[in-house]
Amino acid sequence: MADFPYRLNTDTPPTLGLIVLQVDETIEQDFRRLLDPRQVKLHVSRVPSGAELTPDTIAGMEAELAPAATLLPPAAHFDAIAYACTSGTTLIGAARVHALVAQAARTRAVTDPLTAALAATRALGLRRIGIVSPYVATVAGPIRRAFEAAGLEVPQTLSFGEEVEARVARIDPASIADAARALTRQTVLDGIFLSCTNLRTLDIIPALEDELGLPVLSSNQVLCWHMAQLAGIAPLQDAPGRIFATSL
Protein backbone atom coordinates (compact mmCIF):
# COMPACT_ATOMS: atom_id res chain seq x y z
CA MET A 1 0.00 0.00 0.00
CA ALA A 2 1.43 3.38 -1.02
CA ASP A 3 1.47 6.27 1.43
CA PHE A 4 -0.74 9.15 0.37
CA PRO A 5 1.15 12.48 0.21
CA TYR A 6 0.19 15.27 2.59
CA ARG A 7 1.24 18.77 3.60
CA LEU A 8 2.06 20.02 7.07
CA ASN A 9 0.42 23.20 8.35
CA THR A 10 2.58 24.63 11.12
CA ASP A 11 0.67 27.90 11.46
CA THR A 12 -1.07 27.77 14.82
CA PRO A 13 -2.94 30.35 16.90
CA PRO A 14 -1.65 31.35 20.35
CA THR A 15 -1.43 28.28 22.54
CA LEU A 16 -2.20 28.15 26.26
CA GLY A 17 -1.65 25.38 28.80
CA LEU A 18 -3.61 24.98 32.01
CA ILE A 19 -2.54 22.73 34.89
CA VAL A 20 -5.73 22.08 36.85
CA LEU A 21 -6.20 20.40 40.21
CA GLN A 22 -7.60 16.89 40.01
CA VAL A 23 -10.50 17.97 42.25
CA ASP A 24 -11.30 21.24 40.43
CA GLU A 25 -14.66 21.16 38.64
CA THR A 26 -14.94 24.83 37.69
CA ILE A 27 -11.97 26.47 35.99
CA GLU A 28 -11.86 24.34 32.86
CA GLN A 29 -15.52 25.12 32.17
CA ASP A 30 -14.90 28.84 32.80
CA PHE A 31 -11.93 28.98 30.42
CA ARG A 32 -13.91 27.32 27.66
CA ARG A 33 -16.55 30.01 28.11
CA LEU A 34 -14.01 32.84 28.10
CA LEU A 35 -11.71 31.79 25.26
CA ASP A 36 -12.72 31.70 21.59
CA PRO A 37 -11.48 28.35 20.20
CA ARG A 38 -11.04 30.04 16.81
CA GLN A 39 -8.59 32.48 18.38
CA VAL A 40 -6.58 30.31 20.79
CA LYS A 41 -5.68 26.70 21.50
CA LEU A 42 -6.16 25.51 25.07
CA HIS A 43 -4.54 22.32 26.40
CA VAL A 44 -5.31 21.05 29.91
CA SER A 45 -3.40 18.75 32.25
CA ARG A 46 -4.41 17.66 35.75
CA VAL A 47 -2.26 17.53 38.87
CA PRO A 48 -3.05 15.08 41.71
CA SER A 49 -4.58 16.91 44.67
CA GLY A 50 -6.25 15.97 47.93
CA ALA A 51 -9.99 15.91 48.51
CA GLU A 52 -9.46 18.32 51.38
CA LEU A 53 -7.82 21.71 51.04
CA THR A 54 -5.21 22.02 53.78
CA PRO A 55 -1.65 23.38 53.90
CA ASP A 56 -0.30 19.83 53.81
CA THR A 57 -2.30 18.71 50.76
CA ILE A 58 -1.50 21.94 48.93
CA ALA A 59 2.21 21.71 49.67
CA GLY A 60 2.16 18.09 48.51
CA MET A 61 1.29 19.26 45.00
CA GLU A 62 4.76 20.74 44.61
CA ALA A 63 6.24 17.32 43.85
CA GLU A 64 3.52 16.58 41.27
CA LEU A 65 3.60 19.88 39.42
CA ALA A 66 6.45 19.23 37.00
CA PRO A 67 5.15 15.73 36.08
CA ALA A 68 1.74 17.29 35.37
CA ALA A 69 3.36 19.88 33.10
CA THR A 70 5.12 17.13 31.13
CA LEU A 71 1.70 15.70 30.24
CA LEU A 72 0.86 18.75 28.16
CA PRO A 73 1.47 18.06 24.42
CA PRO A 74 5.27 18.06 24.04
CA ALA A 75 5.16 19.20 20.41
CA ALA A 76 3.19 22.34 21.25
CA HIS A 77 4.90 25.71 21.59
CA PHE A 78 3.08 27.38 24.47
CA ASP A 79 2.69 31.11 24.75
CA ALA A 80 1.71 30.75 28.40
CA ILE A 81 1.12 27.94 30.89
CA ALA A 82 -0.66 28.44 34.19
CA TYR A 83 -0.80 26.46 37.41
CA ALA A 84 -4.46 26.96 38.26
CA CYS A 85 -4.45 27.08 42.06
CA THR A 86 -4.50 30.30 44.06
CA SER A 87 -3.79 28.77 47.46
CA GLY A 88 -1.28 26.29 46.04
CA THR A 89 0.74 29.09 44.47
CA THR A 90 0.66 31.03 47.72
CA LEU A 91 1.97 28.16 49.84
CA ILE A 92 4.44 26.73 47.31
CA GLY A 93 5.60 30.18 46.16
CA ALA A 94 5.03 31.72 42.74
CA ALA A 95 8.72 31.69 41.82
CA ARG A 96 8.99 27.98 42.64
CA VAL A 97 5.82 27.20 40.69
CA HIS A 98 7.09 29.07 37.65
CA ALA A 99 10.45 27.32 37.77
CA LEU A 100 8.90 23.85 38.03
CA VAL A 101 6.57 24.44 35.08
CA ALA A 102 9.20 26.12 32.90
CA GLN A 103 11.63 23.24 33.31
CA ALA A 104 8.99 20.66 32.33
CA ALA A 105 7.32 22.26 29.28
CA ARG A 106 8.21 24.62 26.44
CA THR A 107 6.57 27.94 27.13
CA ARG A 108 7.30 31.65 26.74
CA ALA A 109 5.63 32.51 30.06
CA VAL A 110 4.26 30.94 33.24
CA THR A 111 1.59 32.43 35.46
CA ASP A 112 -0.85 31.52 38.24
CA PRO A 113 -3.93 33.06 39.89
CA LEU A 114 -1.98 34.96 42.56
CA THR A 115 0.43 36.51 40.06
CA ALA A 116 -2.51 37.29 37.77
CA ALA A 117 -4.52 38.87 40.59
CA LEU A 118 -1.64 41.14 41.56
CA ALA A 119 -1.16 42.13 37.90
CA ALA A 120 -4.87 42.91 37.67
CA THR A 121 -4.84 45.12 40.76
CA ARG A 122 -1.91 47.05 39.31
CA ALA A 123 -3.65 47.42 35.95
CA LEU A 124 -6.77 48.79 37.64
CA GLY A 125 -4.87 50.94 40.15
CA LEU A 126 -6.42 49.23 43.17
CA ARG A 127 -4.97 49.68 46.66
CA ARG A 128 -7.55 48.46 49.23
CA ILE A 129 -8.73 44.93 48.50
CA GLY A 130 -11.29 42.79 50.27
CA ILE A 131 -10.94 39.03 49.80
CA VAL A 132 -13.70 36.40 49.75
CA SER A 133 -12.51 32.79 49.85
CA PRO A 134 -13.82 29.33 50.71
CA TYR A 135 -10.75 28.38 52.74
CA VAL A 136 -10.05 27.44 56.34
CA ALA A 137 -8.01 30.03 58.27
CA THR A 138 -4.66 28.28 57.74
CA VAL A 139 -5.11 28.63 53.98
CA ALA A 140 -6.89 32.00 53.87
CA GLY A 141 -4.31 33.75 56.06
CA PRO A 142 -1.31 33.25 53.74
CA ILE A 143 -3.29 34.61 50.78
CA ARG A 144 -4.09 37.78 52.67
CA ARG A 145 -0.43 38.15 53.65
CA ALA A 146 0.65 37.61 50.04
CA PHE A 147 -1.48 40.55 48.92
CA GLU A 148 -0.13 42.67 51.75
CA ALA A 149 3.45 41.70 50.91
CA ALA A 150 2.81 43.02 47.41
CA GLY A 151 1.98 46.44 48.88
CA LEU A 152 -1.81 46.19 48.95
CA GLU A 153 -4.02 46.98 51.92
CA VAL A 154 -6.37 44.14 52.89
CA PRO A 155 -8.52 45.63 55.64
CA GLN A 156 -11.02 42.78 55.70
CA THR A 157 -11.51 39.22 54.45
CA LEU A 158 -14.38 36.76 54.63
CA SER A 159 -14.13 32.98 54.27
CA PHE A 160 -16.61 30.12 54.26
CA GLY A 161 -14.29 27.92 56.32
CA GLU A 162 -14.65 25.00 53.91
CA GLU A 163 -11.85 22.51 53.23
CA VAL A 164 -13.71 19.82 51.24
CA GLU A 165 -13.15 20.62 47.56
CA ALA A 166 -16.32 18.86 46.39
CA ARG A 167 -18.29 21.29 48.55
CA VAL A 168 -16.28 24.31 47.40
CA ALA A 169 -17.33 23.65 43.80
CA ARG A 170 -20.96 23.63 44.93
CA ILE A 171 -21.05 26.80 47.00
CA ASP A 172 -24.01 28.79 45.71
CA PRO A 173 -22.82 31.83 43.72
CA ALA A 174 -25.48 33.82 45.59
CA SER A 175 -23.60 33.10 48.83
CA ILE A 176 -20.40 34.39 47.24
CA ALA A 177 -22.19 37.58 46.19
CA ASP A 178 -23.60 37.99 49.71
CA ALA A 179 -20.09 37.73 51.16
CA ALA A 180 -18.83 40.40 48.74
CA ARG A 181 -21.68 42.70 49.78
CA ALA A 182 -20.89 42.08 53.44
CA LEU A 183 -17.28 43.13 52.89
CA THR A 184 -18.31 46.49 51.47
CA ARG A 185 -20.57 47.10 54.47
CA GLN A 186 -17.70 46.46 56.87
CA THR A 187 -15.02 48.71 55.39
CA VAL A 188 -14.14 51.03 52.53
CA LEU A 189 -12.66 49.14 49.56
CA ASP A 190 -11.70 49.91 46.01
CA GLY A 191 -11.86 46.32 44.80
CA ILE A 192 -12.83 42.76 45.75
CA PHE A 193 -11.04 39.51 44.98
CA LEU A 194 -12.98 36.23 44.93
CA SER A 195 -10.24 33.71 45.61
CA CYS A 196 -10.24 30.05 44.47
CA THR A 197 -10.40 28.50 41.02
CA ASN A 198 -13.11 26.07 42.15
CA LEU A 199 -15.60 28.81 43.11
CA ARG A 200 -18.35 29.53 40.59
CA THR A 201 -17.98 33.28 40.16
CA LEU A 202 -18.21 34.27 36.48
CA ASP A 203 -21.95 34.82 36.34
CA ILE A 204 -22.10 37.11 39.38
CA ILE A 205 -19.26 39.49 38.53
CA PRO A 206 -20.98 41.98 36.17
CA ALA A 207 -24.03 42.52 38.40
CA LEU A 208 -21.86 42.80 41.52
CA GLU A 209 -19.66 45.43 39.90
CA ASP A 210 -22.73 47.43 38.90
CA GLU A 211 -24.28 47.11 42.35
CA LEU A 212 -21.16 47.85 44.40
CA GLY A 213 -19.51 50.31 42.05
CA LEU A 214 -16.19 48.45 42.44
CA PRO A 215 -14.06 46.15 40.30
CA VAL A 216 -14.74 42.53 41.25
CA LEU A 217 -11.96 40.10 40.37
CA SER A 218 -11.94 36.31 40.61
CA SER A 219 -9.18 33.73 40.36
CA ASN A 220 -10.40 32.29 37.06
CA GLN A 221 -11.23 35.65 35.53
CA VAL A 222 -7.84 37.26 36.26
CA LEU A 223 -5.93 34.13 35.28
CA CYS A 224 -7.62 34.02 31.88
CA TRP A 225 -7.08 37.77 31.45
CA HIS A 226 -3.39 37.52 32.35
CA MET A 227 -2.79 34.56 30.04
CA ALA A 228 -4.48 36.46 27.22
CA GLN A 229 -2.20 39.42 27.92
CA LEU A 230 0.90 37.23 27.93
CA ALA A 231 -0.13 35.53 24.68
CA GLY A 232 -1.01 38.78 22.92
CA ILE A 233 -4.65 37.85 22.43
CA ALA A 234 -7.13 40.67 21.80
CA PRO A 235 -9.58 41.53 24.61
CA LEU A 236 -12.15 38.79 24.99
CA GLN A 237 -15.68 39.50 23.85
CA ASP A 238 -18.44 39.62 26.49
CA ALA A 239 -16.01 38.60 29.25
CA PRO A 240 -17.17 39.49 32.76
CA GLY A 241 -15.74 42.42 34.64
CA ARG A 242 -13.82 45.64 34.23
CA ILE A 243 -10.44 43.94 34.05
CA PHE A 244 -11.11 42.74 30.50
CA ALA A 245 -11.55 46.34 29.41
CA THR A 246 -7.99 47.25 30.42
CA SER A 247 -4.49 46.09 29.53
CA LEU A 248 -1.09 45.84 31.19
Express each pLDDT in 111-160 by its tens digit: 999 999 999 999 999 999 999 999 999 999 999 999 999 999 999 999 99
Quick one: DSSP state of residue 164?
A: B
Q: Is the pLDDT of residue 191 over 60?
A: yes
- Rounded mean pLDDT, 187-203: 97
User: Is the sign of the CA dihedral 214, 158, 240, 15 positive or negative?
Assistant: positive
pLDDT number for residue 131: 98
State the pTM of this model: 0.95
Q: Is the pLDDT of residue 53 over 80?
A: no
36 bridge partner residues: none
What is the C-alpha separation between 225 and 248, in angstroms, rounded? 10
Query: Which one, of 118, 59, 116, 121, lies nearest residue 93 by Cα?
Result: 59
With beta carbons less than 8 A apart as the criterion, state whether 222 and 120 touch.
Answer: yes
Give the percent of the chain with pLDDT over 70.
Answer: 99
- Between 58 and 150, the higher pLDDT residue: 150
Residue-wise pLDDT for 8-25, tens only, equals 988 789 999 999 999 999
Residue-wise pLDDT for 28-47, tens only, equals 999 999 998 888 999 999 99
pLDDT number for residue 157: 98
What is the C-alpha separation between 95 and 110, in angstroms, rounded? 10
What is the C-alpha separation between 113 and 117, in angstroms, rounded? 6
Please report the domains of the chain, with CATH numbers, ordered by start residue. 15-112+222-245 (3.40.50.12500), 115-218 (3.40.50.1860)
